[in-house]
Structure formats: C-alpha cells, structure tokens
Amino acid sequence: NMASDGESDEDFVTYGIPLEPLEEGKLPLRKPVPLQDQTVKDEKGRFKRFHGAFTGGFSAGYFNTVGTKEGWTPSTFVSSRQQKAEKQNARPEDFMDEEDFGEHGIAPREITTTDDFASGRPDQIRDKAKAISSLSAPIPGDTLLEELIAPARSSIGVQLLRKMGWKDGQGIGPRLKRRQRKQDTDEKMYGCALPPTGSEESEDDDEFVPENVTFAPKDVIPVDFTPKDDIHGLGYRGLNPLQALGGGSGMGHINLFTVDSERTSSLFGGRNRGKQRKGGIGGQAFGVGAMEEDDDDIYHRDTMSNYDAVLGGEEPGDGLYGWTAPQQYKTKKRSEDAAYVGKILEGFTLGSQPTEAKTVFPPPDLPRDYRPVHYFRPVVDPSSVSPLVAQALQTSRGHLSLQDAPQQGRHTLDSAQRREMLGETTLQGPSSVFDLLDRKDRERLTKASALPTAQSGQTFKPFDKNPAKQARYDLYISRLKQGDKDALELSLDQSMTEWERGREREEFIRAAVLYKPSHSLLSSRFTHGKHEDDTDSVDVARDQENDVDDKQAAVKMKMFGKLTRDTFEWHPDKLLCKRFNIPDPFPGSGIIGLPKVKRDKFSVFNFLSVMDPPASTSSSASAPPAPKSSSVASGKRSRWDVSGQESQVKDSLSRFISEARIEVSAAQQDQTSTDTPPSKTAEPQADQTAKKAEDEEEAEEEEVRPPIDLFKAIFASSSNEGSSSSSEEDSGEEEAQAVEPQPIVPVITPTVNTIALPVLPQAPPTSSLCATTGRCL
C-alpha cells in the first residue's frame, strides 16, 4: 500500500504480506532431513519412483499400472443406439492423467499469448524451420507462395493505433508544429554549414506549409533491447540462409554487421521479408541453371567491398534510435563558439564558466652565498655533557636545551622540586644522608666525588687522571656529535707544542672510536631478536652419554660391552629409510636424529649425569685372578687375557668421583625408599664413607664381574663359527668343547658382534670393516 502520510518510514512501498516476526529464543531449528525420509510424492501423496527420463523421470500411474490399486477396468459396452445424438468424440485429454497437464507433463496447459495479441515479432524458431523447409522442399522457394497469400492480420495494438488515427510510417505521439519538428530533425553539422539551397526535402516543404498545419512526429526505429545470449561479436548476426543460399548472389552485399536494420525490420511484421529473394539455389558451387538468366557470379569473386569496414554503417535519423537523450543533450545550446562546434564529444557540453588561470609566482632569488645543504643541530642533553662543554656550548651557540627542563615530566622532578611547586613546608630533620655525616667526612666525600659526580652523565672517561685533557676530550666528543668538521683542531689546546698536539690528536681519535657511549656500542653489536625465544630453556639431547672415565677404565680392562656402549634412540630420515629399503622404525615421528628435550638452560643438572650404581661399582672393580687358559698356555698372548694388575690401574681422582657418586646414589635410594634421613651422608668423616663405599664395592663386584672363562668361552666359540686361525685350531676346538657354552649373552662385546657378522646367514661378507683403532689423523 502506498503511504500518503508524512511519517518518516512511509516513503517506502511495500508489497505482499510481511512475515511474522520471529520470537526471540524460538529460532526455528532446521534439522536436515535424513536420507531415508527424502522421498518424492506426487500431488496425491503417492510415492513416486524414479523410472526413467520419460514423464519427468517418474513412474506413471500406480506402480506402473493405471491410476488405481484395483487396476484398469475396461469400460463396459454401452449401446449407443438410443443415444446417437449425444455421441461424443473422445479427445486425447480424456485419456490423460491430470499430471500430464502439469508443468512437467506431456501436454502442459499454460497461459499463452494468442495470435491476436501476439506482437509482430516473429517466432525465431518457426522462422528458421520454415526457411529450412522451404529450401529442402522439392521445389525450392515453395513457401514463397504461402507467404504471399498470408492473411493480413495485424495485432491488437496496431489495430488500436489505427483506430486512434495512426497511419503506417508515422511516428507515435502528439502532432507537432513545423518549427518543432524541424528542430527535432535538425542534423548536426560537421565542418562548415551547407548553404541553404533547396535541395533538401524539408527545406522545400518549409515554404509551402502553412502555420496551422501540424505533422505527425517522425517515425523512430526503436532500439532493440533483446538481451545478447550468444557468443558472437557485438552486432553480429549469422548468415540468413534465405539470403545466403536463396538469393545471396543477387544481393551482392552480405552484411553481417547490420546493427538493427534487419532486426528492426523484422520487428515490424516482416514487411521486407523475402523482398529481394530469388527462387532457386544460386551462388558458387551450384553452377548456373538453364532457366537462369544471370550468370554473373559463377566463380564467386569475393571482394572486400562486400564487407563493412565500420560497425553500424549508416545511421538513421538523429542517431539516437528513439532513445531519450540526457537532459543536457536535449537542451543543448547551439549558440556556442563556432570553433568548438563539431569538436565536442557527444554527450559533452561546453563549460559555462571558464576555469581560473593559475597564477604562478616566480621562485625567490637566492642569496649569492646560499648553500643548499641543511644539517640538523643536535640538541645536547646537558646531563650527558661535562659542565665545561655545556658552558662552552652556551656561550658559543646558545642552543643548549636547558630551557626545556620545566617541560619535562613530573617524574624527572625530585621531591624537593615537587614540594616547592605544591607549596609544602620542608620536613624536619636531615634531608639528606650527607647531613648525618660528619662535617669532615662530608668535605672529604664532596672532594672525592667532585669530579665524578660532575661528569656522571658521561659514560666513559678515558683521561680521567688528567682533568684538563679529559675536558678537551669531552669538548672534542661533543663537537664531533654536532658534526663539526674541525672538531679535533678546535678542541686541542693551542698552547701545547706541535708534537704534543699531534699525540693528543691520535689519542683522541682512537679513544673516540673505541669508547663510544655504551648504548650505541651495544646496539651496534646486537640486533633485535626476530622472534621471542625461550630464554630459560635449551635443547639438550635427551639421552646423555655416560661418564668417559668409567669407559676408559672399562676399555682398559677389555670389558667391552655394556660399559663402553651407549645406546640412544635415533631417528633416521624418512627418505633415508626409503633409500635403504627399510621400513621407518618410527613411522609418524617428526624427529630426525637424536630426540631433544627442553631443559632449563642454567641448571647444573643438565651437565651432570648420575650413573647407575652397578655400572660404576663394577667399573672400579679389580679383576679376580684369571684362570690359566689354553691360549695363554699356547704361548701367544691374546688381548683378552687381562692381568689383574692392569685393570686395577685407575687414577685416584676418577676413583674418588665414582665413590662420591655411589654415595650420592645411595643417599638418593635411601630417600626414595624411606623418609628417614640417610645415615651415611650425615657422617662427617669422608674417610669413613669412602671406606664403607669401598667395602660395598668389593662386596658387589664379586657378583657382577663375570669370570674370565666366560669371555673366553664366548669368544672362542664365535671364532670357531666365523673363522679360525691356522695354528690354534685344534686347541681352540678342544677348548670350546671343554668349556661349556654358558647361556649368558648380555656381556658379549659389541665389537665382536659387529665383526663376527658372517654368523648371520643372509648378511654379505663384510670385507673391510674399518675400525677406528688404526685410524688417526
């Protein structure tokens, strides 16, 4: 409804019924329909089953039968003898379901425009079909006759217009006076105006037409607003088969790019349809029939003149095609400067107000001695400059920023200043620590601190012992800061000798280079971190290697095996495994190499590795007397025959450490097992604990240390399996038989394991195993 009242929101036009506003908190929950419930039903609520592409893809009737469950009952015979009059003709619709009349049925009933009300626009598809049928007809051009005698039928609109007095060829609209019409039809003049000779028709009419006669407006050709739905170029219209095949040769000019001449003509009922058509197939490749008189273009010489070089071609009328021109264009003033006429682009008008000319001022004359370089005068913080320099600065240049002091923030004020500003009374008692001191002490203090406190702003005093020199240096530094070129020469004492000055110059330069203010020095050395890193944790290999000393000891005792071996978890790269044809031992782990853990950076415990007690105890143990073995008896000294004295050699320091470790670990064990304070650690005498530890060691190691026969048995047997030495073969075999192979394997040394690879059946013989022993850089 249209609102006429002056309310604020009544300016809008609303259509339809507004939706009811949703209640808050009762938002409709849209649950998705489960798959089993997604069914299709027809209008009667019957389930539809997908059946095929016909009848809209669904089965017709009742489960592919007729429309009811009972089935199709044949109509009973009814004698029509009595009812002949009311005999009815069965129409196809009688046998159709109502679905068939629907939108997707086989005979949809829809509202269509009848011919009476149809516009003059011809049906494109029908046209084309007709054209093709005419060509394929036994006599080409057969439909020509049909078109000739087509009933003169005009649409309702045309009939109405005629009744209103409209005549063919006239424009629509109120009748116009002559003047008006002339103005409308006035053409733009390009170049110089034509002389008003009576060549033009309008000019001719002008003179004979009386004033009171009105004219119908000129007929305009409407703009074709058909949407572009093809992929051809703009204005392109495909070859009309009627023209191209029927009468193409006669027309000569095949105009592919008629913007609207063809279309608009077709708008008006196809009045020009077939006007120039000739019967029969003509053109190239068909030859010339005997009945045809013109044989001019047998060989279809196509020239460029047959084609347009310009889009659009000749424009009719005002070039607007009835389009309502913009306002400016309509009410264009024609009385403009003649020089502009024809140069103005369409749609543009001349500006009414001339733009103001910009006044350009000449640059000022520079003084003769002007140097176009600017340097910024540094603002010197008085606190950072020695008082001498400050004074010098104040007298010489006077741009010391002392005046800025009151503007500084309140935090720079001290308590006394604030008190003054607030108007408070001074506190009783000593205001400073100095007041509490002796007068003598105070004097001494002030004397001692006079120089340093005065120059406390400066960070570094290279010539502290020589105040005059230091002052000169400070002056030099400050001048250097200001960018003074001859800072050095100016700051040196002129009264000194040339040699002295030269020396001082050197010193100052070096000092200035070396002792920059600390903050600048640091900032030159460091860069800001790109990202924040964990400052208190560091990547440390998760598994730490055991103590080296113990290992060395173990090696000395030829106790290869658990003692000298550290086994870590190691992650090979995925690609490496692939290249080695081996499944990844840790699939899915992103670690490569040894796993790392984050630990506190500054923890001592990162770098201490607490040994497990049995290893340490056994390492420092002394070997029991080795039983006589056959290899020793054979005269050759084997490396596996170790004497007890050799293994006992261990430096006292490592011994002490290992003892201490035992102590610690024992203490820890005590603590973990019971809450009672450890008695051993409480004992003050280190000797006693050491002794005790030694006792423990000896007690333990007898269990831990396996007898030498075990080694012999293992190694002798492995040597027999893998290979055998030439000389000791017999004795070795005997020994292997004599000594029972004991089922204790964990002590087998790793070196032997790797060396005696041929035991593995599938392993290739390792030809040259390079041990590190012989290699040394």
Which residues here bind other proteins, judged by CB under 8 A?
Answer: 545, 548, 551-552, 554-556, 560, 564-573, 575-577, 579-583, 585-586, 592-594, 631, 636-640, 715-716, 718-719, 722-726, 728, 750-751, 754-758, 763-777
- Shortest CB 565 distance to other proteins, Å: 5
Q: Which is nearer to other proteins, 665 or 731 (CB)?
A: 731
Q: Which is nearer to other proteins, 520 or 754 (CB)?
A: 754
- Shortest CB 410 distance to other proteins, Å: 58
Q: Which is nearer to other proteins, 668 or 720 (CB)?
A: 720
Q: Which is nearer to other proteins, 488 or 736 (CB)?
A: 736
Tokens of 65: 């039968």
- Shortest CB 633 distance to other proteins, Å: 13
- Shortest CB 553 distance to other proteins, Å: 10
- Shortest CB 580 distance to other proteins, Å: 6
Q: Which residues does 333 contact at the CB level (< 8 Å), separation at least 6? A: 349
- Shortest CB 767 distance to other proteins, Å: 5
Q: Which is nearer to other proteins, 345 or 769 (CB)?
A: 769
- Shortest CB 604 distance to other proteins, Å: 21
CA-closest candidate to residue 555, choices 773, 249, 343, 364: 773
Q: How many CB atoms lie within 10 A of CB 401?
A: 12
- Shortest CB 620 distance to other proteins, Å: 16
Query: With contact defined as beta carbons under 8 Å apart, do 110 and 104 qualify?
Result: no
Sign of CA pseudo-dihedral 171, 176, 177, 183: negative
Q: Which is nearer to other proteins, 487 or 563 (CB)?
A: 563
Query: Rounded to the nearest 10 degrees, what angle do helices 708-722 and 729-738 cross at?
Result: 130
Q: How far is the first Cα of the chain from the last one, in angstroms, to the nearest whole number?
A: 103
- Shortest CB 487 distance to other proteins, Å: 46
CA-closest candidate to residue 388, choices 479, 317, 301: 479
Tokens of 2: 């249209």
- Shortest CB 753 distance to other proteins, Å: 9
CA-closest candidate to residue 399, choices 386, 384, 382: 382
Tokens of 285: 């490749």
Q: Which is nearer to other proteins, 433 or 769 (CB)?
A: 769
- Shortest CB 651 distance to other proteins, Å: 16
Q: Which is nearer to other proteins, 184 or 612 (CB)?
A: 612
SS (H, E, C) 297-326: CCCCCCCHHHCCCCCCCCCCCCCCCCCCCC
Q: Which is nearer to other proteins, 148 or 777 (CB)?
A: 777
DSSP class of residue 259? S
Q: Which is nearer to other proteins, 299 or 607 (CB)?
A: 607
Q: Which is nearer to other proteins, 296 or 729 (CB)?
A: 729
Q: Which is nearer to other proteins, 519 or 639 (CB)?
A: 639
Look-up of token digits 């071996």: 565
Q: Which residues does 135 contact at the CB level (< 8 Å), separation at least 6? A: 241, 245, 246, 281
Q: Which residues does 216 contact at the CB level (< 8 Å), separation at least 6? A: 167, 170, 171, 173, 175, 176
- Shortest CB 714 distance to other proteins, Å: 11
Half-sphere exposure (Cβ direction) of 207: Cα atoms closer than 13 Å:
8
Cα–Cα distance, 308 to 236 (Å, whole number): 12
- Which segments of 384-525 does DSSP mark as H helices, in order? 387-396, 415-422, 433-436, 439-454, 467-481, 487-491, 498-514, 518-525
Q: Which is nearer to other proteins, 294 or 566 (CB)?
A: 566
DSSP per-residue letters across 474-488: HHHHHHHHTT-TTHH
Tokens of 184: 């409308």
Burial tier of 160 (Cβ tally within 10 Å: 0-12, 13-18, 19+)? exposed
- Shortest CB 556 distance to other proteins, Å: 8
Cα–Cα distance, 149 to 134 (Å, whole number): 16
Q: Which is nearer to other proteins, 549 or 663 (CB)?
A: 549
CA-closest candidate to residue 656, choices 683, 685, 694: 694
- Shortest CB 655 distance to other proteins, Å: 19
Query: With contact defined as beta carbons under 8 Å apart, do 651 and 550 qualify?
Result: no
DSSP per-residue letters across 325-340: PPHHHHT--S-S-TTT
Helix (H, G, I), strand (E, B) or coil at 140: coil
- Shortest CB 710 distance to other proteins, Å: 16
- Shortest CB 719 distance to other proteins, Å: 4
Reported as type and span, the H/E element at residue 489 is: helix 487-491
Tokens of 83: 């009812």
Q: Which residues does 598 contact at the CB level (< 8 Å), separation at least 6? A: 534, 537, 538, 539, 540
- Shortest CB 744 distance to other proteins, Å: 19
Q: Which is nearer to other proteins, 508 or 711 (CB)?
A: 711
Q: Which is nearer to other proteins, 506 or 729 (CB)?
A: 729
Q: How many CB atoms lie within 10 A of CB 296?
A: 11
Query: With contact defined as beta carbons under 8 Å apart, do 325 and 349 qualify?
Result: no
Q: Which is nearer to other proteins, 66 or 538 (CB)?
A: 538
Look-up of token digits 């008189």: 293
CA-closest candidate to residue 619, choices 692, 547, 691: 547
Cα–Cα distance, 554 to 560 (Å, whole number): 7
| Phi, psi for 362 (deg, rounded to 5) | -70, 150
Reported as type and span, the H/E element at residue 75 is: none
